[in-house]
Structure 1
Amino acid sequence: MPTLADRFVPRPDFASRHETVLDAPADAVWAAFRAMELERGVRGIGVARVLMAVRAVLGRVLNRGRVHRDEPTAFAPLAEEPGREVVHGIVGRWWRMGGAANRTDVTTAEQFLAFAEPGYAKGTFGLRLTESPDGRRTRVVTETRVVCTDEEARRAMRRYWGVIRPFSGLIRTAMLRELRRRVAAR
């Protein structure tokens, strides 16, 4: 079944996927996800805060204290099918660790699709819900996809992905665990 993410990164150079099944209808899971997003999103999850702080410190060390503070780290909304799927995207050079990694001028789906400047990667984060036929359980899938604009960026991203992928997975797993907690509390 095609996903919204297929429109933005149909053939990723790098990808990871995490999933869980929750004992709740899709509308309850969607509401819990939206509430989590409104309350700081992934940044509200302890392990994510720690890992982002570590990355910031590494960025300062690697860039000899010169880190671009005006650089947003939030993903821009690209597409949504309410209650079923959402996709956010970001363009950057994350392997530069704080050295002006993200593009602040790519904020819409059209800009994301059109972006082709060499030396960058385009990443999406998607969350997709599939409700069971009886409406009592929901499969939640998160997917991270990255496509690079040229071979040089692909080589740099490959090195970075080799290091960051387990930590990205840890954040996604913690996010699913937090979602499970929120759904159970409803």
Structure 2
Amino acid sequence: MRKLGGSVLQGPLVETFTERAAAVLVEDAPTRLLLAMVGKPWSVVPQRVTMTSMEDVTSFTDPGWLKYGMEWVLHPLPEDRTLVETRTLCEATDATARRRFGIYWLGIRGASGLVRREMISALRR
């Protein structure tokens, strides 16, 4: 909803999330990319906690927040093809955050799928 009328991605994928969303990047080039962050995406103005490492993300336990991100893994296939495996990762720090995220996810699930398709189309190109 925040990006109606335009492309969801504004520039390269990694920079979009690491610079604008304060995501932690874990990269095992060229086969794996993991972006993780802590925030409240359901807020009208999304709130984020700056994380500097994956350990910061996994050890974060303050109530009311969501630890979330995405992972991309590339698997080589015969005939110069590649299987792209994507995962959306979410872990609420308490029941209230889990409920708020559940309501938010009901509203954005379709748009989230469109973002993923846009990313995969960019990879295909």
For Structure 1 versus Structure 2, the TM-score category normalised by the shorter chain is 0.7 to 0.9
Alpha-carbon shift at residue 106 of structure 1 (Å): 1.5
Structure (1/2) with the larger helix percentage: 1
Deviations 1:21-41 (A, max 9, x none): xxxxxxxxxxxxxxxxxxxxx
2:123 alignment partner in structure 1: 179
The gaps in structure 2 that reach 5 residues or longer are 1-5, 11-18
User: Which amino acid is the alignment partner of residue 28 of structure 2?
Assistant: E
Residue 148 to residue 172, structure 1, CA distance change in 2 (3 Å): same
Q: TM-score w.r.t. structure 1 length?
A: 0.56
Q: What is residue 101 of structure 1 aligned with on the other side?
A: 47
Distance 1:161 1:92 in 2: 14
Q: Report the CA distance between 1:72 and its aligned residue.
A: 4.0
SS in 2 for 1:47: coil
AA aligned opposite 2:48: N
Contact 2:23 2:51 in 1 (8 A): no
* Bigger Rg, which one: 1
Question: Runs in 1 of length 4+ with deviation above 3 angstroms?
Answer: none
Matched letter for residue 171 of structure 1: V
Q: Report the count of equivalent residues.
A: 113
What is the aligned-residue RMSD (CA, Å)? Answer: 2.2
Higher relative contact order (CA 8 A, sep 6+): 1
Amino acid at match of 2:108: I
| % identical equivalent positions | 32
Q: Is the 8 A contact 2:66 2:90 kept in 1?
A: yes
Give unmatched runs, 5+ long, in structure 1: 1-45, 51-70, 182-186
Corresponding residue of 1:92: 39
Corresponding position: 1:126 with 2:71: yes
TM-score (norm 2): 0.81
